[in-house]
Amino acid sequence: MRQDGLLRRLASYVSARAVLVITALAGGLIILGLTAASAGVYDAVAEKDGIAGLDRPVLDQVIALRTPFVDQLFTWFTELGGPLRMTVIASAITLLMVWRWRTPTPLILMIIAVAGSLTFTNVGKAIVGRLRPPLGDAVPPYEHAFSFPSGHTLNSTVIAGIVAYLVARRLTSRLGIVLCVVLAVAWSAAMGFSRVFLGHHWLTDVIFAWLLGLAWLALLITAHRIFLALRIADVERRTLPSGTARPKR
């Protein structure tokens, strides 16, 4: 596993404690940045200014791009991000990884990731209580739950990100790793765009979902990297002969 090897090499030059600090700081900076950006979008929506001013013009632009065929295509795609189909897709991929790699790690991470994503979606909708775009601007079948944030986008971002992370850890090819990331980003981006294109969400619903999803992913991945660093330190400690001092680093 390429990333695990990187951690081992890093641990050979610095102490295990330093590995933990480096991992935590890197993840923390990413999380803080994404959280700050998410808060900015939330404030704009609450105050109905700033980036929220793009919601109506962007919706008007995508309405002009609609055709019966494109509407049907995006409707089929956006339904893949719904609760039922997304659950089936995520479950199938997760079980395949568990079976193929003989480890419960994908299942554990996926359960935590999805539980957090669903919680953020439900809490966000309840707190903000934002109405969706008018039904006259939407493509049927219509949706009536609160609009902020976009659950389809948030869940798709988190699930695609976790899958890409888990698969990339098993790859040794840089091209393969890049392809994993590109596919995850493309899936999340397309899902978010489909929600705006079909008039089921405002642009800021989707942007907030992207940022919050990335922040949640950064937190999960950072926690997992710290766990791996701790495990490396524990294995190293166990393999040292009894009474042997740890070499200075």
Cα angle 91, 4, 2; round to 5: 85
Residues 6+ apart with CB under 8 A from 233: 11, 16, 19
Return the pLDDT at 246. Answer: 47
**Domain covering 2-232: architecture:** Up-down Bundle (1.20)
Whole-prediction pTM? 0.82
Return the pLDDT at 102. Answer: 92
Count CA atoms within 13 Å of residue 148 on its CB side.
22
Q: In this structure, what is the dihedral angle of CA atoms 46, 51, 57, 59, given to the nearest 10 degrees?
A: -70
How far are the Cα atoms of 28, 67, 69, 112, 193 from residue 216, in angstroms, in the given order?
11, 36, 35, 10, 20
Ordered alpha helix ranges (H), the chain: 2-13, 16-47, 55-63, 68-79, 83-101, 105-128, 151-170, 174-197, 203-239
| Tokens linked to 189 | 């981006």
Instruction: Give the type of residue at 58.
Output: V
Angle at which helix 55-63 crosses helix 174-197, to 10 degrees, equals: 90
pLDDT truncated to tens, each residue of the chain (249 aa)?
455 555 555 555 555 556 556 666 666 677 777 777 777 787 778 777 778 888 999 999 999 999 999 999 999 999 999 888 999 999 999 999 999 999 998 999 999 999 988 988 888 888 888 899 999 999 999 998 899 999 999 999 999 999 999 999 888 888 999 999 999 999 999 999 999 999 999 999 999 999 999 989 988 898 888 887 777 666 666 665 554 444 433
The domain ranges of the chain are 2-232
